[in-house]
Amino acid sequence: MLEPIKITQKTGNEPLTFNGKDIGFKLIDFWSWGHSDILGNTARGRFAEFIVATALKIDLSIMNDGWNAFDLTSPEGIKVEIKASAYIQTWMQKDFSKINFSIKAARSWNSITNEMAETPSRASDVYVFCLLNHKEQNTIDPMNLDQWEFFVLSILEVNNCNVSTISLKSLQKLTKSVSYSNLREEIIRKHKNELIEKIKKEQ
């Protein structure tokens, strides 16, 4: 059996080599070439995870494991699932995109055992729905965190929705959005409230 490969965190300064010699390109060149489009669907979700990680003060020197059953673990131990959406895409649009987020339960994969879970589930404690809420193509900038708003639901609130996709209108009925500066506090608050509800049910 082949053991999992231990991946070390890169800085971007690592050179590409051929025949033992530096060919003049670095890993940062690949990142710039292949991943600059953080507005498009492919990278926007991953970038949203990074934004939430910074808000939660997660240690960025520890690499994020993309194979976990949830996206992030806060320093307090809160398991967080991230979903992202935007009105503006990088392709030709006739109108703004409709804002919907998937909350479908899924079978998780264990990278250690190389096995899928038998039943679909939601493994996180909290869901964070990240909306790039900007509608001007000339000024949209995912790195400007003033253009984002965040909706936070506890896993109990998500499970009570009984749907696989939740619309922006439904989210707005369930909770108010918060800005980047208040995101960490809101995640902790939602998780604390859920723990209180669990204790009440057990009494």
The residue among 128, 119, 118, 199 whose CA lies nearest residue 157 is 128
Sign for the CA dihedral angle at 14, 20, 22, 27 comes to negative
Res 26: pLDDT:
98
Mean of the per-residue pLDDT values of the chain = 90
CB atoms within 10 A of CB 92: 5
- 11, 25, 45, 104, 117 from 134: Cα distances, Å: 31, 35, 16, 26, 38
Cα 48 from Cα 132, distance rounded (Å): 9
pLDDT per position as a tens digit, 78-99: 999 999 999 998 888 889 999 9
pLDDT per position as a tens digit, 141-185: 999 999 999 999 999 999 999 899 999 999 999 999 999 999 999
The residue among 178, 170, 99, 194 whose CA lies nearest residue 146 is 178
- 10, 22, 60, 108, 149 from 26: Cα distances, Å: 11, 9, 21, 34, 35
pTM for the model stands at 0.90
Res 29: pLDDT:
98
Res 194: pLDDT:
83
Res 119: pLDDT:
77
Res 111: pLDDT:
59
DSSP annotation of 65 reads: -
Sequence-distant (6+) residues with CB within 8 A of 175 are: 151, 152, 153, 157
Beta strands in the chain (DSSP E): 15-18, 21-26, 72-73, 79-86, 100-102, 109-110, 115-116, 126-132, 148-154, 165-167
